[in-house]
Amino acid sequence: MIPRKIHFVFGLEEDFGGKVFTFAHWAAIKSAAKLNPGYEIHYWCKYIPENTYFDDIRNLVNINLIEPPVQIFGNELLHFAHKADVIRLQTLKEYGGVYLDIDTITTKSFDDLLTEKCVLAYESIKGTPHGLCNAVMLAEKNSQFISEWLESYRSFRSKGRDEFWQEHSVFLPLQLAARIPESITILNQKTFFYPDWTEEGIAAMFYENHVFPEAYAHHLWEQVTWGALKSFNEFNYNKINCSYTSLLGTILSEEIECLSSKRRIWTNNELENKNAKINLGCGPNRDMDHINCDLYAKTGADLIFDMSRDPWPMPSDSVSSVKLFHVLEHLDYSTYEHFFRELYRVTKDGCDIQIRVPHPRHDWFLIDPTHTKAWHPESFTYLDKRISLQRYFQGDSKTPLALYWDIDFAVLQLQVFIESNLTENKVRAAFSTTSKIMEIEPYINNCISEIHAQLKTRKHTGQ
């Protein structure tokens, strides 16, 4: 009998494998818990996520701190994914239960599978099985199949993403099932692993809207769908129509509404406490530590408004840090006065402002038809009142915008970045020169790709 326990493994490395605990991970745990009431939920990790998504499910899980294995039977485990492979097998052997990858969504109860000894499903490509995937597994305690699977790691030889990457996680269990078929029940792909990770499968889950009646859960193939998974949150899941968002709405609509209410309270508190960090024009690149702002609701931003025309929904002097990445080039010059006046109003004295724009002599600026205004590194000095005053007093023809708009942003740092590490060699070869790239970049295109500027709001003239 398989016990009513569900296991997740996540957080074996301090940087979480480059993927923070997101809304999709929250939904994995929340859906499993909701559709399997009475099950113990165990979360195995070395590092505990520190963000609002994990805080919301913390009371649902039993947190088990572990030290990830570095070897098995003397064979090194170099990649965190292989360490997680071993942990999930060791956990199922010792405790039994259901193992779920953190990039899954559960769609029905596992109750009718609990009478089996061990349950896996085929991983298929376009309907052709090629292995048994370990992303969703059920097993009784001391399962024969799981025990022998672990024993097979005596031959483990992968050093990372090499030709042996899936040998023990996908291919070998299928061979083992042929040898001891009485120890395992194999389900078809559609129970756990459909749609697959091909282009057609990804489209079926994230671009189209389908119903999958045979599924107990869906593995979402985070390695190839991370761009999609990290784009969804509690504010935009019901604004983008696809199979995944339909599942979210069907299973977790009430829980998601509760989550969004908590986020709104957090946003209001940050602004009221006048120490907010904002991410202006966030697009899909939201930052959970910032109040994300955008024109379009489908971005999942916390605040939706037209920053080029609307009054900003923030108190004066309430913001201590600003991210402004690839926004200014999208604004029409006629809206700049409003934009920078509002930015100056809401930011505190000393507010740190980080800006990124494409370089005007790079195709990245030219290709996007919504890019309307080019910025040169020197353009940012027009926002500094002291520099504007100097130019005004000297009769300089450069427009003293900071003086006219009554704003003041001190320019602390300006940096330019070449397109790639290969750019310098390409430029030297093309122009047959030994000159340093920064000496000739003003005369060539597609060399400097991006400008970074660091500004500081200055409201006390003594600074």
Structure tokens at 458: 């200055």
Residue 115 pLDDT more than 70? yes
Residue 394 pLDDT more than 60? yes
Q: Which residues contact 222 (CB under 8 A, 6 or more apart)?
A: 19, 24, 101, 102, 103, 229
**454 closest CA partner among 425, 423, 412, 426:** 412
Report the distance separating Cα 324 and Cα 44, nearest Å. Answer: 37
The mean per-residue pLDDT over the stretch 154-180 comes to 93
Q: Which residues contact 383 (CB under 8 A, 6 or more apart)?
A: 340, 401, 402, 407, 408, 409, 411, 455
Structure confidence at residue 269 (pLDDT): 97
Report the distance separating Cα 7 and Cα 75, nearest Å. Answer: 25
DSSP β-ladder status, 448-457 and 409-418: antiparallel
pLDDT tens digit sequence for 14-51 = 988 888 999 999 999 999 999 999 999 999 999 999 99
State the pLDDT confidence band at 447, using cuts at 50, 70 and 90.
Answer: confident
311 in Cβ contact with 343 (< 8 Å) = no
State the pLDDT confidence band at 407, using cuts at 50, 70 and 90.
Answer: very high
The mean per-residue pLDDT over the stretch 184-199 comes to 96
**141 closest CA partner among 1, 279, 288:** 1
Residue 161 pLDDT more than 70? yes
How much is the pTM? 0.91
Structure confidence at residue 448 (pLDDT): 84
Residue 463 pLDDT more than 60? no
Residue 435 pLDDT more than 70? no
Report the distance separating Cα 126 and Cα 245, nearest Å. Answer: 23
Structure confidence at residue 267 (pLDDT): 97
Number of alpha carbons in the 13 Å side-chain half-sphere of residue 438: 3
Structure tokens at 50: 């520190």
The mean per-residue pLDDT over the stretch 404-410 comes to 97
How high does pLDDT run on average in the chain?
94
Structure confidence at residue 355 (pLDDT): 98
Residue 419 pLDDT more than 90? no
Structure tokens at 437: 């790239």
> Per residue, what are the HEC states of the chain?
CCCCEEEEECCCCCCHHHCCCCHHHHHHHHHHHHHCCCCEEEEEECCCCCCHHHHHHHHHCEEEECCCCCEECCEECCCHHHHHHHHHHHHHHHHCEEEECCCEEECCCCHHHCCCCEEEEEEEECCEEEEECCCEEEECCCCHHHHHHHHHHHHCCCCCCCCCCCHHHHHHHHHHHHHCHHHCEEECHHHCCCCCCCHHHHHHHHCCCCCCCCCCEEECCHHHHHHHHCCCCCCCCCCCCCHHHHHHHHHHHHHHHHHHHHHHHHHHHHHHCCCEEEEECCCCCCCCCCEEEECCHHHCCCEECCCCCCCCCCCCCCEEEEEEECCHHHCCHHHHHHHHHHHHHHEEEEEEEEEEEECCCCHHHHHCCCCCCCCCHHHHHHHCHHHHHHHHHCCCCCCCHHHHHCCCEEEEEEEEEECCCCHHHHHHHHHCCCCCHHHHHHHCCCCEEEEEEEEEECCCCCC
195 preceded by a cis bond (ω within 30 of 0): yes
Report the distance separating Cα 240 and Cα 302, nearest Å. Answer: 16
pLDDT tens digit sequence for 212-242 = 999 999 999 999 999 999 999 999 999 999 9
Q: Whose structure tokens read 């070998």?
A: 172
pLDDT tens digit sequence for 44-84 = 999 999 999 999 999 999 999 999 999 999 999 999 899 99
Q: Which domains does the chain have, with CATH numbers?
A: 5-231 (3.90.550.10), 305-457 (3.40.50.150)
Structure confidence at residue 437 (pLDDT): 64
State the pLDDT confidence band at 433, using cuts at 50, 70 and 90.
Answer: low
The mean per-residue pLDDT over the stretch 274-296 comes to 96
State the pLDDT confidence band at 401, using cuts at 50, 70 and 90.
Answer: very high
Exposure of 137 by Cβ count < 10 A (0-12 exposed, 13-18 middle, 19+ buried)? buried
Structure confidence at residue 420 (pLDDT): 73
Structure confidence at residue 18 (pLDDT): 84
Residue 428 pLDDT more than 90? no
The mean per-residue pLDDT over the stretch 431-436 comes to 64
Q: Whose structure tokens read 């190839």?
A: 224
Report the distance separating Cα 137 and Cα 133, nearest Å. Answer: 8
Structure confidence at residue 436 (pLDDT): 67
Residue 296 pLDDT more than 70? yes
The mean per-residue pLDDT over the stretch 182-204 comes to 97
Residue 427 pLDDT more than 90? no
pLDDT tens digit sequence for 136-154 = 999 999 999 999 999 999 9
The mean per-residue pLDDT over the stretch 122-130 comes to 86
State the pLDDT confidence band at 377, using cuts at 50, 70 and 90.
Answer: very high
The mean per-residue pLDDT over the stretch 346-356 comes to 98
